[in-house]
Structure 1
């Protein structure tokens, strides 16, 4: 039976409410010195980026940082695998949202042969220890897996290909993933079996309906963190002082942006 979809009006109202709560979370993180790290994983076109965009829409980018690392450089490939991710972990008063994370090794790197079987095995052995170290040091770690069906993923790929503003999202890797659906499924199942642990669980987000996935994930993340509402600063704007003879230079001395809008009216 098909799931009833939320109305646009109800969605926008709840999204704004949750975004307002994320502002409260941000202020608590800033005031308390908490460190929050959130991992967004899942298949291509599962809705990770759209959810991150809604979470951060009204947040301070100096506090809530998005980390989407490119492919490792030749030098980074010789480092300890977790090293470049460690450099992007949150400091006190920060929220770090990883748009894909160290779990690349359990997914795309394994399926596409970018790591050796030994490197993959070692990763699955080390990652529970690594995450336990983060948790023991006080980092609030949350891991989300966005689950999308093969039919919906293909639909979204086709939509990207026909949209000039989103065509860049359709990469050769995305195309390759279509023919490797079962390989990715097996890799994900093994990853879950080894890393879905009581101290560091995976939370699965059903994401065939994007709006539902966003609201569900955002509400869960907020509920999982014991933040408190921080009273806003009492800021009083001063009166503007009386003019003291300043004169603005003639407009002709300044190069202005052309009035493009006037050509549209």
Structure 2
């Protein structure tokens, strides 16, 4: 059912001349920054994505083209609680209307100026990796919204290791079912914004953001703005937890003594 729906949508778009052929999708990122996790911090960056289906397309069996997504990155030098939020915005040459979804991964793409970069879906190395990882199945691109995945640039895999994205979690706006049941991770409220929180260890992270409207693949591609915000909250030190527990324990002792005294003098 899922593939028949998808094929019908794509064929309809091709017949109307509305769906473009796969692009040489080069991954470049918007950098939220580096955070130490010792103090609260926030950052926001706006950009745009082509089409309203880039993220949700990566949740099916034939994967998706990274060209339909925006990519954010950030680095933690210490443990932290991280809240990620993405919403429609008139930004980056795009218009309102995005139904956002995102996936969080550990790992970063190659720097576009490095020996291994820029990464894109249709490099010889990426095509080889897709063939290996999919077991020879037909794939539309390298992006997988709910799983680990790999991609690389033009350099030989014998020279440069691929970029590896290790799946952590995802969330998307509203609720979607393209024939196999409700896709998990929806917030159930279609309001053009999605927010999710994670407790993360020190490391490098990538966030792939795109649209969650699966049926819009048959519509004309248009640029849609997205505003991304990261909120990093400091994690209390173990000593702080210990002092809190001691304080709670002391309050309990005082309360018990007060009750005993009331009974004695009652």
* TM-score range relative to shorter protein: under 0.3
Calculate the TM-score normalised by the size of structure 1. 0.22
Calculate the TM-score normalised by the size of structure 2. 0.22
